Amino acid sequence: MDSPQRYFAYGSNMATTQMRERCPSAANPLPAVLADHDWLINDRGVATIEPAAGRSVHGVVWELAVCDLVALDRFEGAPRRYARTTVTVTTAAGAVEAEVYVDLRVEPGPARPAYLEGIIAAAAEHALPDRWQQSLARWGLPFPTQLDEPVSPAPATLAELLRRPGVCEEVMLRSAFGFMAIHGGALEAMTDVIARRAADAAGASCYAVIHPDAERHHLSSTLFRPAESEALAGFLEHVEVVVSVHGYGRRGRWTQMLAGGTNRDLAIHVAAHVAAALPGYDIVTDLDAIPSALRGMRVDNPVNLPSAGGVQLELPPRVRGQSPRSPLPGHDGLSPVTHDLIGALAAAAASWPLGD
């Protein structure tokens, strides 16, 4: 084959069977890495890539005849669905230029039926790194829009919620700086872990409500009334300030953390520590830039009941390690970004001046 064209496949076209059907000339597949890009399933249910400093995409470089590259344009719907461009990838033989197809729609979504399984099988066929195969498999977990809706009636009060099977409170009283996670457990996943570990590291106090898998009802924060829980009342009386850790997910805000609550000095203090520890993520302190439902400014919100108020910290799934785009867990079981967030929150708590 004279002057072959190189093509970098990162999705279903990694599979030898599919490529030989689409492009009979396809030959010499080599594992390759595209630096400073991230991989995702978009809201069309197909794979694409986008620039992302420090991230890498694993795939396969094929050699194709020019006529087969033209045929591949047709299969990929270029330029309407995918745009074809040129990138530099690294193989065991060194750096090479290759054509790649990119869908510019990068809003994440669930994969089409059976699509992801084929990609994972192709990654295994070419012996791509185990951790890359693990990262692909995470896209098979239920997407937030696919979670089952609760089937039982919603609780109307904190007292009623606490009577639900498997719902429990955790409280630890230490310093006058507090962390809360009132929607912890299976509801806003990892918020209780983040609050607990940050409190442990800083010697701070902590209060959490843990929801089991079967309890998916979200009781409004303003209905967490201290009169209905001795543990909550005792915690709020003990602490001077609090950071209440919440989870949220909204289109276009997958890398944004939101710092609401009435103690704006504390919000700025926490934001400075978090921003320094999590490059590539934004933490928003401008209340006008935070959706009104996520600002945590109501006086009956428990985050504002300590004597000096507090900060309602809303975390997207990616920061909580709950997104397939979160870095894979390290030895401590945490995604590195979650680990770094916990350290930043602990540092903010330890350096905050408390009253006598």
Domain boundaries defined on the chain: 5-145, 158-351
Which one has a higher pLDDT value, 150 or 117? 117
Confidence grade of residue 147 (pLDDT, cut at 50, 70, 90): low
Interatomic CA distance for residues 57 and 78, integer angstroms: 21
Confidence grade of residue 152 (pLDDT, cut at 50, 70, 90): low
What is each CA distance from 60 to 99, 123, 150, in whole angstroms?
12, 9, 43
Instruction: Give the 3-state secondary structure of residue 36.
Output: strand
CB contact set of 202 (below 8 Å; sequence gap of 6+): 175, 177, 345, 346, 347, 349, 350
Instruction: Give the 3-state secondary structure of residue 66.
Output: helix
Q: Tens digit of pLDDT for each residue in 79-92?
A: 888 999 999 999 99
| Best CA proximity match to 319, nearest among 191, 211, 199, 134 | 191
Residue 240 reports pLDDT greater than 60: yes
Q: Tens digit of pLDDT for each residue in 213-239?
A: 877 788 999 999 999 999 999 999 999
Is the Cβ–Cβ distance between 83 and 18 less than 8 Å?
no
CATH of domain 158-351: 3.40.630.100
- Sign of torsion, CA 35 138 257 350? negative
Per-residue model confidence (pLDDT) at position 107: 87
Interatomic CA distance for residues 48 and 10, integer angstroms: 8
CB contact set of 154 (below 8 Å; sequence gap of 6+): 217, 219
pTM, entire model? 0.83
pLDDT exceeding 70 applies to what percent of the chain?
96
Torsion angles phi and psi, residue 85, rounded to 5 = -140, 175
Instruction: Rank 17-21, 143-147, 325-329 by mean pLDDT and report only the highest.
Output: 17-21
Is the Cβ–Cβ distance between 100 and 7 less than 8 Å?
yes
Residue 355 reports pLDDT greater than 90: no
Confidence grade of residue 134 (pLDDT, cut at 50, 70, 90): very high
> Fold identical between 5-145 and 158-351?
no
Instruction: Give the 3-state secondary structure of residue 308.
Output: coil
Q: Tens digit of pLDDT for each residue in 244-297?
A: 999 998 888 889 999 999 999 999 999 999 999 999 899 999 999 999 999 999
Q: Which fold has domain 5-145?
A: Hypothetical upf0131 protein ytfp (3.10.490)
The helix (H) or strand (E) run that includes residue 68 is: helix 66-76
| Best CA proximity match to 304, nearest among 236, 234, 248, 205 | 236
Per-residue model confidence (pLDDT) at position 145: 54
Q: What is the mean pLDDT of residues 52-66?
A: 93
Residue 186 reports pLDDT greater than 70: yes
> Among 98-107, 135-144, 190-199, 266-275, whose mean pLDDT is lowest?
135-144
Per-residue model confidence (pLDDT) at position 80: 87
Torsion angles phi and psi, residue 287, rounded to 5 = -60, -30
Instruction: Give the 3-state secondary structure of residue 280.
Output: coil
What is each CA distance from 146 to 109, 125, 255, 293, in whole angstroms?
10, 30, 21, 22
Question: Do strands 256-260 and 282-284 pair parallel, antiparallel, or not at all (unpaired)?
Answer: parallel
Confidence grade of residue 144 (pLDDT, cut at 50, 70, 90): low
Confidence grade of residue 149 (pLDDT, cut at 50, 70, 90): low
Q: Tens digit of pLDDT for each residue in 284-337?
A: 999 999 999 999 999 999 999 999 999 999 999 999 999 888 888 988 999 999
Confidence grade of residue 150 (pLDDT, cut at 50, 70, 90): low
Structure tokens at 236: 């709020």
